[in-house]
Amino acid sequence: MGNPMSFEQKNNSDEIDLLDLLLQLWNGKKTIIAAVCIAIVLAIGYIVIAKEQWTSTAIITPPQLGQLADYPTAVAVIDPSNSKDIGNDVFANFVSRMSAETLAFMPEKPLDIKPTNSGSKDSFTVSFSAETPEEAQKSLLAVLSKVNKEPSSSFYSNASKALQVRMDAINTSLDAQLQTAEAKKNRRLTALTEALKVAEATDTKNVAVKEVNGLSDDMLFMLGESALKTLINNESSWPLYLSDSYYSNRETLQALQKIKLSDTGNDKFEAFSYSQKPSLPMIKDAPKRALILILSVLLGGLIGAAIVLVKGFLRNMKDKNQAA
Do residue 56 and residue 46 come from a single domain?
A: no
Q: Is the pLDDT confidence value at 182 over 70? A: yes
Do residue 246 and residue 235 come from a single domain?
A: yes
Do residue 269 and residue 242 come from a single domain?
A: yes
Least Cα distance to 254 among 77, 75, 70 occurs for 77
- SS3 sequence, the chain? CCCCCCHHHHHCCCCCCHHHHHHHHHHCHHHHHHHHHHHHHHHHHHHHHCCCEEEEEEEEECCCHHHHCCHHHHHHHHCHHHCCCHHHHHHHHHHHHHHHHHHHHCCCCCEEEEECCCCCCCCEEEEEEECCHHHHHHHHHHHHHHHHHHHHHHHHHHHHHHHHHHHHHHHHHHHHHHHHHHHHHHHHHHHHHHHHHHHHHCCCCCCCCCCCCCCCHHHHHHHCHHHHHHHHHHHHHCCCCCCHHHHHHHHHHHHHHCCCCCCCCCCCCCCCEEEECCCCCCCCCECCHHHHHHHHHHHHHHHHHHHHHHHHHHHHHHHHHHHC
pLDDT, position 137: 95
The parent domain of residue 43 ranges over 1-50+289-324
Least Cα distance to 152 among 105, 100, 59, 86 occurs for 86
Do residue 123 and residue 159 come from a single domain?
A: yes
Do residue 176 and residue 276 come from a single domain?
A: yes
pLDDT, position 208: 64
The 10s digit of each residue's pLDDT in 2-44 is 444 443 444 444 454 677 778 878 888 888 888 889 888 887 8
Do residue 13 and residue 161 come from a single domain?
A: no
CA angle 300, 305, 310 (to 5 degrees): 130
pLDDT, position 166: 92
Q: Taking residues 65-70, report their average pLDDT.
A: 88
pTM > 0.75: yes or no = no
The 10s digit of each residue's pLDDT in 195-253 is 899 988 888 887 766 665 677 888 888 888 888 898 899 989 999 989 999 999 999 99
Do residue 84 and residue 217 come from a single domain?
A: yes
Neighbour-count burial of 233, counting CB atoms closer than 10 A to its CB (0-12 exposed, 13-18 middle, 19+ buried): exposed
Do residue 124 and residue 229 come from a single domain?
A: yes
Do residue 203 and residue 297 come from a single domain?
A: no
- CATH number, domain containing residue 210: 3.30.1890.10
| Number of folded domains that form the chain | 2
Q: Is the pLDDT confidence value at 1 over 50? A: no
Do residue 278 and residue 305 come from a single domain?
A: no
Do residue 112 and residue 46 come from a single domain?
A: no
Q: What is the number of other CB atoms lying within 10 angstroms of the CB of residue 244?
A: 7
Across 58-62, 67-71, 218-222, least confident range:
218-222
Do residue 170 and residue 116 come from a single domain?
A: yes
pLDDT, position 224: 86
pLDDT, position 13: 46
